């Protein structure tokens, strides 16, 4: 009787499990990630993707990659490039498909449901990555192919893929002793969770603050557009209707600090901005402590004395000493320039008011006043010539003149948010990329600006070129009233900067996804983006596209000359705050012993050591330094300065030969933009320029020489 019950139970269980399996299979079948995307150019069908689809797709993607790797490992043939490296390269097609959508939307369409889902996915995703990197049998095969590379007739790109794959395993922990692998995995999983939490705290802290002003007389100095935007923001909430609301989003904060004459209001909003996440509900001090110490422990396990040396070994800088050397070379003249600027602003204060010292919340206000006084240059005089639409057309025009590209908006391509616009990129009558442009702030979107991919360029197994699907994300001032979004010079350069990254992906001509586009060393990836900034305000270029949004009038020669004359104005501040953040980053990641970090003490000591004047703060203070504690720039924020050495030197070639010289543009495209990571970064640069870069052009162009 008992045996009969057991048999019956097994039969029933089998029926139930079979039913569950069918349901699961049906769910997967209905999951958009499991289907071929019959959208234009195979872009993500955002209108069909729901939050519930992500986790099953992640799980299936990881399962498929594990099966592919198991096939590689069980192959009884001797390891070769063809039976080991190639199948490994293509093993994550589904996982890459879902992760590219999820992690990108997590940054710009975040909500509580997505946050909770990320908390579930991140440990699984991290563990999956460790399972691959720490798979001894897989690494043994990769290692044998690497050791026998001279025996295979590999072309240059195949050889580069092999070298990068082998190096990726080593840097991913493949050589970590067996008795330390469990701890290594724990660290990786914990870091993934902590960096996610850090970024969420910054987003929430930013969104939680509003400066509400009900007395319009206190807003003297603000432009009509700023006032209208503040009224619209206030009227969106019953509690503030009829008042004025200002947030910590940079398109609101920066102009407010530049124009508002009321010093107490400037102080209030600045204090809120600069003290985010230092204390209270969204405090990040404990998270910073754990991140820094876990990164150090991870580096030690890998055989490095600090985290920076581990990171930089795979960059152009090679080690922390070289990064520090460059930063300090620029720091000395930048700080001297900043002190000169501070003295000028203090004189203006003493002349007009007296009785107070220049503070960080005064800097932008008096910087703008002196700019008007010295150069007769008013930002509000500039903005009308740079509506977002005009700037975008100018950007497209530059890309056309340099590389022959044209852009066509396609409203039939699905978008993930109603404000987003999509363009086809056309080269020689062929669509070579799709570009999403997402320009305005919203509560679900982190601050800043970035370029990313929903799909990178590569060739599939059948030899078909898969075109990239690129996304450009910014936070520009939204149109207010009857005025379009009007950009200042900094925002204009941000647009060109991010599109420089986009071009690196758009023009990629690489066979392997892991080598294509922007998959390059951190201190090289910023070079194409910063290079594009030069074209945004080049006098010859301005005359071709900068037209008044109302009248259509071309920007006057006199205004172009003012912009050119003022191009190095304020560079002391701009470079000093950037370098201060870069040096702070290096200080965190060159720690060699477990440390208890107290804030703001650690940061105050770091800034005192380099002599930062009190009227300037680091571009990002530690508690909201997303780049290094939530993004991919840990021990890498110096890269903006390293890349500046490259981009300024590169632009000299265009100044020497002509801004739109076709031979120079073609050399830049074929040696830099098309090549991705198919060769050493310095080799690629020298192939374009003919020599290694020096710091001279950087110092000259920034007025520091």
pLDDT tens track for 491-536: 999 999 999 999 999 999 999 999 999 999 999 999 999 999 999 9
H-run or E-run covering 297: helix 285-301
Looking at residue 429, its pLDDT comes to 97
Buried b (16+ CB within 10 A) or exposed e, 182-211: eebbebbbebbbbbbbbbbbbbbbbbeebb
Looking at residue 17, its pLDDT comes to 55
Q: What share of the chain is helix, strand, coil (3-state, %, to 5)?
A: 60, 5, 30
Measured CA to CA, the distance from residue 210 to residue 264 in angstroms comes to 15
- pLDDT over 70 for what percent of the chain? 96
**Could you tell me the residue ranges of all domains in the chain?**
39-175, 209-274, 285-377+572-629, 384-565+639-701
- Asked if 666 and 611 touch (Cβ cutoff 8 Å), the reply is no
Task: State the greatest distance between any 2 C-alpha atoms of the chain, in Å, as a whole number.
Answer: 103
Looking at residue 380, its pLDDT comes to 87
* pLDDT tens for each residue of 324-339: 999 999 999 999 999 9
Looking at residue 264, its pLDDT comes to 98
Looking at residue 689, its pLDDT comes to 97
CATH topology of domain 39-175: Glutathione S-transferase Yfyf (Class Pi); Chain A, domain 2 (1.20.1050)
- Mean predicted confidence (pLDDT) in 258-266: 97
Task: Give strand pairing partners of 408.
Answer: 424
Weakest mean pLDDT among 8-22, 197-211, 334-348: 8-22
- Mean predicted confidence (pLDDT) in 351-369: 93
Going by pLDDT thresholds of 50, 70 and 90, the confidence category of residue 22 is: low
Q: Does the annotation count 498 as an active-site position?
A: yes
Instruction: Write down the pTM of the prediction.
Output: 0.92
CA dist list (Å): 578 to 118, 571, 612: 31, 10, 12
- pLDDT over 90 for what percent of the chain? 92
Measured CA to CA, the distance from residue 213 to residue 227 in angstroms comes to 11
- Mean predicted confidence (pLDDT) in 144-169: 97
pLDDT at 13 over 60: no
Looking at residue 9, its pLDDT comes to 42
| Of 89, 456, 498, 533, catalytic | 498
285-377+572-629: in CATH 1.10.540.10: no
Domains 285-377+572-629 and 384-565+639-701 share a fold: yes
Looking at residue 305, its pLDDT comes to 97
Looking at residue 246, its pLDDT comes to 97
Going by pLDDT thresholds of 50, 70 and 90, the confidence category of residue 8 is: very low
pLDDT at 480 over 90: no
Measured CA to CA, the distance from residue 699 to residue 685 in angstroms comes to 19
DSSP 84: I
CATH topology of domain 384-565+639-701: 1.10.1370
* pLDDT tens for each residue of 379-417: 889 999 999 999 999 999 999 999 999 999 999 999 999
pLDDT at 31 over 50: yes
Looking at residue 20, its pLDDT comes to 54
H-run or E-run covering 425: strand 421-427
* pLDDT tens for each residue of 189-206: 999 999 999 999 999 999
Token couple for 449: 């600006």
pLDDT at 133 over 60: yes
Task: Give strand pairing partners of 438.
Answer: 473
């Amino acid at each position: 009787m008992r045996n009969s019950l057991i048999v019956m139970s097994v039969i029933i269980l089998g029926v139930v499990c079979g039913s569950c399996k069918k349901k699961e299979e049906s769910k997967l079948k209905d999951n958009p990630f499991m289907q071929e995307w019959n959208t234009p150019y195979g872009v993500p069908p955002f209108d069909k993707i729901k939050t519930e689809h992500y986790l099953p797709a992640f799980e299936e993607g990881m399962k498929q990659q594990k099966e592919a790797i198991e096939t590689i490992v069980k192959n009884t043939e001797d390891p070769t490039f063809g039976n080991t490296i190639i199948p490994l390269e293509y093993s994550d097609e589904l996982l890459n498909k879902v992760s590219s959508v999820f992690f990108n939307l997590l940054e710009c369409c975040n909500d509580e449901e997505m946050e909770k889902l990320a908390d579930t996915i991140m440990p699984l995703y991290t563990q999956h990555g460790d399972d691959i990197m720490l798979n001894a049998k897989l690494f043994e095969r990769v290692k044998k192919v690497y050791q026998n590379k001279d025996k295979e007739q590999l072309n240059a790109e195949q050889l580069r893929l092999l070298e990068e794959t082998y190096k990726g395993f080593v840097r991913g922990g493949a050589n970590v002793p067996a008795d330390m692998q469990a701890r290594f995995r724990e660290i990786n999983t914990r870091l993934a969770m902590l960096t996610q939490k850090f970024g969420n705290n910054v987003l929430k802290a930013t969104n939680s603050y509003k400066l509400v002003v009900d007395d319009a007389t206190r807003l003297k100095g603000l432009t009509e557009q700023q006032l209208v935007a503040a009224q619209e923001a206030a009227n969106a909430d019953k509690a503030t209707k009829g008042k004025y609301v200002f947030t910590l989003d940079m398109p609101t904060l920066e102009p407010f600090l530049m124009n508002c004459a009321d010093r107490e209001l400037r102080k209030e909003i600045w204090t809120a901005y600069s003290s985010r996440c230092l204390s209270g509900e969204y405090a990040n001090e404990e998270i910073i402590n754990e991140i820094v110490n876990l990164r150090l422990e991870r580096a030690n396990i890998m055989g490095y004395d600090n985290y920076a040396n581990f990171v930089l070994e795979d960059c152009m800088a090679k080690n922390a000493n070289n990064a520090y050397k460059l930063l300090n070379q620029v720091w000395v003249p930048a700080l001297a320039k900043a002190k000169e600027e501070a003295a000028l602003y203090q004189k203006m204060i003493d002349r007009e008011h007296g009785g107070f010292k220049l503070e960080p919340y005064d800097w932008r206000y008096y910087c703008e006043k002196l700019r008007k006084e010295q150069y007769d240059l008013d930002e509000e005089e500039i903005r009308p010539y740079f509506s977002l639409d005009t700037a975008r057309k100018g950007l497209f025009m530059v890309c056309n003149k340099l590389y022959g590209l044209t852009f066509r908006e396609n409203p039939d391509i699905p978008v993930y948010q109603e404000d987003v616009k999509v363009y086809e990129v056309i080269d020689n009558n062929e669509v070579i990329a799709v570009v999403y442009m997402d320009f305005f702030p919203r509560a679900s979107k982190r601050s800043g600006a970035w370029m990313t991919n929903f799909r990178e360029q590569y060739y599939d197994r059948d030899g078909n070129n898969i075109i990239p699907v690129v996304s450009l994300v910014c936070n520009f001032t939204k149109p207010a009233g009857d005025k379009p979004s009007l950009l200042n010079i900094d925002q204009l350069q941000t647009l060109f900067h991010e599109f420089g990254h986009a071009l690196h992906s758009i023009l990629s001509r690489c066979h392997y996804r892991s080598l294509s586009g922007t998959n390059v060393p951190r201190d090289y990836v910023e070079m194409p983006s910063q290079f594009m900034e030069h074209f945004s305000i080049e006098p010859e270029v301005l005359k071709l596209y900068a037209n008044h949004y109302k009248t259509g009038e071309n920007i006057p020669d006199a205004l172009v000359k003012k912009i050119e004359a003022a191009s190095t104005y304020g560079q002391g501040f701009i470079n000093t705050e950037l370098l201060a953040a870069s040096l702070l980053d290096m200080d965190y990641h060159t720690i060699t012993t477990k440390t208890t970090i107290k804030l703001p003490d650690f940061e105050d000591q770091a800034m005192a050591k380099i002599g930062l004047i009190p009227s300037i703060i680091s571009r990002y203070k530690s508690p909201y330094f997303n780049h290094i504690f939530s993004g991919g720039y840990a021990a890498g924020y110096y890269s903006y300065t390293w890349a500046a050495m490259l981009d300024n030197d590169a632009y000299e070639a265009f100044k020497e030969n002509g801004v739109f010289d076709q031979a120079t543009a073609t050399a830049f495209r074929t040696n830099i933009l098309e090549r991705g990571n198919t060769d050493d970064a310095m080799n690629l640069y020298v192939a374009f320029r003919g020599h290694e870069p020096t710091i001279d052009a950087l110092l000259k162009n920034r007025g520091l020489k």
